[in-house]
A and B are shown apart, each in its own frame.
Chain A
Amino acid sequence: MTSPRSKNGREDFAEILRLVRPGARVLDVGCEDGELLDLLTREKRVDGQGLEISPAGVSACLAKGLAVVQGDGDRDLDHFPTRAFDYAILSKTLQQMREPRHVLSELLRIADQAIVSVPNFGHWRMRVSLMARGRMPETRALPDPWWSTPNIHLCTLRDFTDLARELDLQVDACAALSGGKPARPIRPDGLLENWRSETALFLLSRRAEDRPSAVPTNLFGEVALDQPNPPPGPRRKPRNTRR
């Protein structure tokens, strides 16, 4: 989780700060040096918990007095109890996960709402760069060359909304973030937005009828520890999302 969000993710933070309810329980997956959690703790008095893979990031979080667990978002989400948080935040990290679909589903098991931001590979800069140069785009949102990028599962705005629909998630809010400009509310399935939005930020929730019980059901013992990836819940048949 070495996303470059602290370099160019300020607009992302401001929008997250706006969305989060004061005093909420928040899990920040891939919290890096804890900048966002620290901000949320100070400005919104949240009860925050971070998950971060890098030792330097964990050290920095501890130094800030944040509760942080050194771990891997791909593997360690399974161990959090159901609906333990009000929000699970995944800021520009989903595309670095080995199993984005599973992670997204887990975020909304652990928390009532997920705040997820993803760089939009459908942005015009990407398309133009690929068209004109015939090479993997290197833009300000995704500046790394293909051979060193941590981003292994890039998607477009449309791809993401398709996945959310497939997982039967509800988009409670969606905003486009571009180059430090203030967040702009958008319709996530707008065709034009897929060209215009450099980064998209989603506030997602499970539909009420799909919500798991708040009672922690995965108090695990020795046996469960041997199965780091328990089978995911029943998956819905993908709906026809083309229109």
Chain B
Amino acid sequence: MDVGAETTAAGETPGRGAPGGDTGGGVWRFAASVGLRLDSGARLSPLEIAYKTYGRLNETKTNAILVCHALTGDQHAASVNPATGRPGWWNSVIGQGLPLDPDRYFIIATNVVGGCMGSTGPASTNPKTGQPYGLAFPVITIGDMVRAQAMLIEALGIDTLFAVVGGSMGGMQVLQWTADYPEKLFSAVCVAAAPRHSAQNIAFHEVGRQAIMADPDWRGGAYESQGVRPEKGLAVARMAAHITYLSEPALQRKFGRELQRDGLSWGFDADFQVESYLRHQGTSFVDRFDANSYLYITRALDYFDLAGQRGGVLAEAFQKARGVRFCVLSFSSDWLYPTAESRDIVRALNAAGCRASFAEIETDKGHDAFFLDEPQFDRALRGFFASAAQARGL
């Protein structure tokens, strides 16, 4: 593919809490002639992909790892997020002495197409109108996100990734990579994900979308040009979704029925600590995330069905990936993408004759456990990457 392109702000100064070594990245602007072919049939142009890199690409270009983010993640995987001032979302995995060590690997994290952290998304300017796209932005899929990443990887001059790795929606991108570009992968790590969005997954997302669209400030998606934002709707969407990222025992352990102050208010203030926590999750989210992006990315997740694209036979998706070393990890208390979904992936991998490892990590911390410091998770990643690196001669 022809990727006449340029990048800006390459080689940014490492932020506080940077994982050491070199930190780079910026926004890759693809030439207008390139554009992104979308699964919907539409074409997205101009296309910009925001990305960060950690570490250095070796001379043979064999040590590149692509890290894929979850629904509300971004490219700031292991360095301070400029929008929030908070550390990277995968600081527990990427860093010196951690499973993904920038001293050893060249780690690339992108913001997905449709996102709101620098990649082309619904808040970007529509070249036809000069206004933000809003709902004129085409519906995107996990496949589109991966296609854009593949374009970036090629633009960076990398033929084969040592690994593609991600959790939740990032894990779905990993699966899509193995289906669409197996020849460009040496290994793939899919964490806390599923081969399709279940009815329950879609149902929760629909609640979130309806909350956003019910906010009068949403303005049919054109809020940006009217100087308002559907903050209340987006906050409610986040609150509902956040519950699905935790687990009943974790919520109970953390909050129980503890009150904010002594006694009940006999009203509808946040009496319980769990209410206050959720409200905080909601309000802090609206500062960093775009409501329309939330609609588009949740839609992309709902449309994801790797088997559905292949006559219902999941193993078909992995037919060409026999040369890829797979690692599939799930968390025992994850009820958003439960272990059974990961087992489906593993069985399909076995049926397709792929080399796969699978472990269920015991934890009560729910879906979001993959962001946290879980010793068994850490050990699994370390073991897998160490042996894959050895096989790759790194």
Q: Which residues of A contact B (CB under 8 A)?
A: 47, 49, 55, 58-59, 61-71, 76, 79-81, 84, 216, 218-223, 225
Kindly identify, within residues 304 to 325 of chain B, every residue whose CB is under 8 Å from any CB belonging to chain A: 307, 311-316, 325
Complex contacts, A49 vs chain B, CB 8 Å: 355-356
Q: Are B357 and A216 in contact, CB atoms less than 8 angstroms apart?
A: no
Q: Are A62 and B379 in contact, CB atoms less than 8 angstroms apart?
A: yes
Query: Of A59, A67, A219, A221, which contacts B380 at CB under 8 A?
Result: A59
* B302 is an interface residue with CB less than 8 A from chain A: no
Q: Which residues of B contact A (CB under 8 A)?
A: 307, 311-316, 325, 327, 343-344, 346-348, 350-353, 355-362, 376, 379-380, 382-384, 386-388, 390
CB within 8 Å for A67 and B316 given contacts A59-B380, A222-B307:
no
Q: Are B355 and A67 in contact, CB atoms less than 8 angstroms apart?
A: yes
Query: Of A68, A84, A218, A223, which contacts B357 at CB under 8 A?
Result: A68
Complex contacts, B359 vs chain A, CB 8 Å: 55, 58-59, 62, 68, 70
Q: Are A62 and B357 in contact, CB atoms less than 8 angstroms apart?
A: yes
Complex contacts, A59 vs chain B, CB 8 Å: 359, 376, 379-380, 383
User: How many contacting A-B pairs (Cβ < 8 A)?
Assistant: 94
Top 8 A-B pairs, shortest CB-CB distance? A65-B387, A62-B383, A63-B383, A221-B313, A79-B347, A221-B312, A219-B315, A69-B358
Complex contacts, B344 vs chain A, CB 8 Å: 225
Complex contacts, B313 vs chain A, CB 8 Å: 219-221
The answer for the CA separation of A84 and B312 in the assembled complex, in Å, is 22
B381 → chain A closest CB, angstroms = 9
Q: Are B376 and A55 in contact, CB atoms less than 8 angstroms apart?
A: yes
Q: Are A69 and B350 in contact, CB atoms less than 8 angstroms apart?
A: yes
The answer for the CA separation of A221 and B315 in the assembled complex, in Å, is 7
15 A-B contacts (beta carbon < 8 Å): A59-B379, A63-B383, A65-B387, A65-B388, A67-B325, A67-B356, A69-B358, A80-B351, A81-B352, A81-B353, A216-B353, A218-B351, A219-B351, A221-B312, A225-B347
Complex contacts, A218 vs chain B, CB 8 Å: 351
* Residue of B343, B350, B353, B384 ringed by the most chain A CB atoms within 10 A: B350
Q: Are B312 and A63 in contact, CB atoms less than 8 angstroms apart?
A: no
The answer for the CA separation of A65 and B355 in the assembled complex, in Å, is 12
Residue of B nearest to A64 (CB): B383
The answer for the CA separation of A49 and B354 in the assembled complex, in Å, is 10
* Residue of A55, A64, A84, A219 ringed by the most chain B CB atoms within 10 A: A219
Complex contacts, B314 vs chain A, CB 8 Å: 221-222
A213 → chain B closest CB, angstroms = 14
Query: Of A47, A216, A222, which contacts B312 at CB under 8 A?
Result: A222
B360 → chain A closest CB, angstroms = 5
Q: Are B315 and A220 in contact, CB atoms less than 8 angstroms apart?
A: yes
Q: Are A220 and B384 in contact, CB atoms less than 8 angstroms apart?
A: no
Complex contacts, A47 vs chain B, CB 8 Å: 355
Query: Of B346, B362, B390, which contacts A65 at CB under 8 A?
Result: B390
Q: Are A71 and B358 in contact, CB atoms less than 8 angstroms apart?
A: yes
* Residue of A62, A70, A79, A84 ringed by the most chain B CB atoms within 10 A: A62
The answer for the CA separation of A220 and B312 in the assembled complex, in Å, is 9
* Residue of A47, A49, A84, A225 ringed by the most chain B CB atoms within 10 A: A225
Q: Are A69 and B346 in contact, CB atoms less than 8 angstroms apart?
A: yes
* Residue of A61, A64, A80, A222 ringed by the most chain B CB atoms within 10 A: A222
Q: Are A219 and B316 in contact, CB atoms less than 8 angstroms apart?
A: yes
A63 → chain B closest CB, angstroms = 4
Complex contacts, B325 vs chain A, CB 8 Å: 67
CB within 8 Å for A81 and B351 given contacts A59-B376, A222-B312:
yes
Q: Are A65 and B383 in contact, CB atoms less than 8 angstroms apart?
A: yes
* Residue of B312, B358, B376, B388 ringed by the most chain A CB atoms within 10 A: B358
Complex contacts, A225 vs chain B, CB 8 Å: 344, 347
Complex contacts, A67 vs chain B, CB 8 Å: 325, 355-357
Complex contacts, B351 vs chain A, CB 8 Å: 79-81, 216, 218-220
The answer for the CA separation of A69 and B344 in the assembled complex, in Å, is 12
Complex contacts, B379 vs chain A, CB 8 Å: 59, 62-63
Residue of A nearest to B359 (CB): A58
The answer for the CA separation of A79 and B344 in the assembled complex, in Å, is 10
Complex contacts, A223 vs chain B, CB 8 Å: 312
CB within 8 Å for A70 and B358 given contacts A55-B376, A59-B376, A79-B347:
yes
New contact pairs (9) apart from A65-B383, A65-B386, A67-B355, CB-CB < 8 Å: A55-B361, A59-B379, A61-B357, A62-B380, A70-B358, A79-B347, A221-B312, A223-B312, A225-B347
The answer for the CA separation of A67 and B357 in the assembled complex, in Å, is 5
Complex contacts, A220 vs chain B, CB 8 Å: 313, 315, 347-348, 351
A88 → chain B closest CB, angstroms = 13
Complex contacts, A222 vs chain B, CB 8 Å: 307, 312, 314
Complex contacts, A70 vs chain B, CB 8 Å: 358-360
A220 → chain B closest CB, angstroms = 6
Query: Of A61, A62, A63, A81, which contacts B350 at CB under 8 A?
Result: A81
Residue of A nearest to B316 (CB): A219
* Residue of A69, A76, A84 ringed by the most chain B CB atoms within 10 A: A69
Complex contacts, B311 vs chain A, CB 8 Å: 221
Complex contacts, A80 vs chain B, CB 8 Å: 350-351
